[in-house]
Amino acid sequence: MPLIAIAQNRRMSDYMESVRRAGGEPVEVAAGGESPEHLLARVDGVMLTGGGDVDPMLYGDAPHTTFQPAEPDRDAFEIALTRAAIAANVPFFAICRGMQLLNVAMGGTLIQDIPSQVPGALEHSVPEPRAHVAHEVWVAKGTRLSELLADTMEDGETCHVNSRHHQSVAKVAPGFEVTATSPDGVVEAMEMPGAVFCIGVQWHPENFWRTGEFRSLFEGFVAAASARTR
């Protein structure tokens, strides 16, 4: 059973259950523990989770008035872990803040506040119920994401997602491509072509573990982790 490192946040249960149901063994990791190098020597995959905002100083921007910082030391730890994992081609799955962190760690930037900075934006922050469908996303054909969501999409390119974020990807990091957007143009997913598995999604697929709409994402991730040799 592959060991999956999950970046610690305040609501871990759905992430851990999603990994378990996909056949993985989850382990929480956080700043103040072992180094990224030691961690990657014993795990088979890395998952980044939701949480507070990534420090805008990390991508050369001043904080917006809505800035809500993540837990202390979380940015530094997760950036180091991300860069080490990507360099080693470790299977990597990033969710919500996790996708934003991935983008920043690899050289991209963020929109700091969708409501005030994206004209005509949809409602992207629907906190409860956590599996409530907020809007649709359009998935690019021929991508790994499209392949994994084939049974979820209604017409081969559209699926409906929940949403709890006020930030999003602006400039995409070098080496990555956008694989899904919402109708207002907000980036909803990205992936790294050529990687064994490196996908980020802006919604929260872990909240659907009871009904299984996005189980294929976790199954694809865990399958890639299972194939890793250390």
132 is catalytic: no
Type of residue numbered 230: R
Q: What is the pTM of this model?
A: 0.97
Q: Is the dihedral of CA 167, 173, 175, 181 positive or negative?
A: positive
pLDDT per position as a tens digit, 182-191: 999 999 999 9
pLDDT for the residue numbered 123: 84
pLDDT per position as a tens digit, 25-63: 999 999 998 999 999 999 999 999 999 999 999 999 999
Please tell me which residue in 124, 165, 166, 204 is annotated as part of the active site. 204
How far is CA 178 from its chain centroid?
Answer: 13
Closest by CA position to 9, among listed 90, 85, 97: 97
Residues 6+ apart with CB under 8 A from 108: 59, 169, 170, 171, 172, 173, 174, 176
191 is catalytic: no
How far is 38 from 139, CA to CA, in rounded Å?
Answer: 36
Residue with more model confidence, 74 or 71: 74
**Residue 135: which H helix or E strand, with range?**
strand 135-139
198 is catalytic: no
Q: Is 36 left (phi over 0), alpha (psi -120 to 50) or beta?
A: alpha
pLDDT per position as a tens digit, 146-181: 999 999 988 889 999 999 999 999 999 999 999 999
How far is 91 from 130, CA to CA, in rounded Å?
Answer: 26
Please tell me which residue in 78, 96, 159, 165 is annotated as part of the active site. 96
Domains of the chain by start residue, with CATH: 3-226 (3.40.50.880)
Please tell me which residue in 136, 188, 191, 206 is annotated as part of the active site. 206
Model confidence at 23: pLDDT above 80 = yes
